[in-house]
Structures are given as C-alpha cells and as structure tokens.
Copies of this chain bind each other. A is one copy, B any other.
Amino acid sequence: MNDATIDLLGVLAYGELTAFFKLSSDAELAPTLSAKTALARIAADELVHHEQIRAHLGAAGVDADAAMQPFVSAFEEFHERTAPSTWFEGLVKAYVGDGFAADFYHKVAELTDAETQAVVVRAVDSQAREDFLVNSIKAGIAADPSLSHRLALWARRIMGEALSQGHRVAATRPALGELILNSSDSDQASITRLTTIFGDLTSGHMERMARLGLDA
C-alpha cells in the first residue's frame, strides 16, 4: 500500500472515529429519546466504518493507529472550533461537515486502487443518515423559521473550518498532496485540477444547502 493511500485511509479512519465521539456527545442535546437514539445509531455506524477501514489497513500490514496519528490535531482543532451548542447546530454540522468530507474522500479515492475505493465509498455513503439529517433540520426550520438565518451562518462556519483544516492536512502530508495533484502534471494542469476539485466541493456544499432550503 503506498503512502498516499495510507494517508487517505488514516485521515478517513480518524475522521470516522472522531465523528463517532462527537455525534454521540451531540446526541445528548436531542429533544426526544427517539431523536437521541437515532443520532446515536448514526454515531455507531461511523464506528463500524472506522472498524472497516482499520481492518483494510490491517490486512495490508499497516498499523492503523500510526496511520491516523498525523491527522489527530487537525480533527481536534476542527471539532474544538465547531462545538455545537444546540441540537440543530449539531445536525447541521454532521450534514455539512460529513457531506463535505465524503465528497473529498470520494475524489481522492478515485485515484487509488479499486479495493480501497470500495472501502472508502462504503464508509462515507449513507442515504439513511443524510435523509434523517435533512428531514430533522427541515422540520426544525419549519417549526421555527428564525433558525434559518442562524443555521445558514453556522453552516458557512463549518464549511470554512473544514476547508481550512483540509488545506492544513494537504500542506503537511506531501504524499496525499501529490496524489491529488499528480506529480507528472505541469503547473498549469495542477492549477486546473485544484480548481476543478475546489469547484466540485463547493457545488456539493451548495447542493446540500439547497436541500435544506438555506442560503449557502
């Protein structure tokens, strides 16, 4: 397994593990026991994904803990700066943050081997989770339209922090950066590729906001 693939799986594995912990703790803000249980289930699914990636790394003889270590501080910082103070902030964070991360992992996974790609796709795609989040957030806004403006601002903050940590990770992990940029590209081709990736990530975010009926 090459360094870039190990980095990709390491960042994803640690992302899923922190998602488990953050979603579990955000679930405590739930207004009802059913909502609490539903978010707890989403959290537990993230742990299952983490375990799948850990197993995939292990099968390739790679120590998952060592693979995750370089990404610990970026995630800690992201979560520290985006601690939700209400149930709906928690849901928007999960929807916007995980959605952005999923788009990013998809893009990078396309550049790796077929098996890794399958593991990544299985770890990040969940229609059930997305539907629960979208429906819950929309119901909340319908019940209290004043939430709309506040959550739109909050979503922008999540997106900003995600981009900023993503940038930091790319800058400190050359193998990952090279995988994305492809070292045989000319400078012009690299810029075009980066522009395309950022453009795609941004439109993914805008589509998610549109599904919520919020301004991006």
- Give CA–CA (A33, B64) in the complex, Å: 9
Which single residue of chain B is at the shortest CB-CB distance from A72? B33
Q: Which of A57-73 contact B (CB under 8 A)?
A: 64-65, 68-69
Q: Which bracket fits the contact residues of A?
A: 20 to 34
Give complex CA distance A54, B41 in Å.
13
Contact: A68 with B17, CB < 8 Å? no
Q: Chain A interface secondary structure, helix, strand, loop or mixed?
A: helix
Give chain B residues whose Cβ lies under 8 Å from the Cβ of A68: 33
Could you tell me if A37 and B54 are in contact, using CB atoms closer than 8 angstroms?
yes
Is A32 engaged at the interface, CB distance under 8 Å to the other chain? yes
CB pair A41 B37 closer than 8 Å: no
Decide if A36 touches B17 in the complex (CB within 8 Å): yes
Task: Tell yes or no: A50 within 8 A of B by CB.
Answer: yes
Within 8 A of B (CB), among A9-45: 17, 20-21, 24-25, 27-28, 32-34, 36-37, 40-41, 43-44
A94 at the interface (CB under 8 A from B): no
Please tell me if the beta carbons of B50 and A47 are within 8 angstroms of each other in the complex.
Answer: no
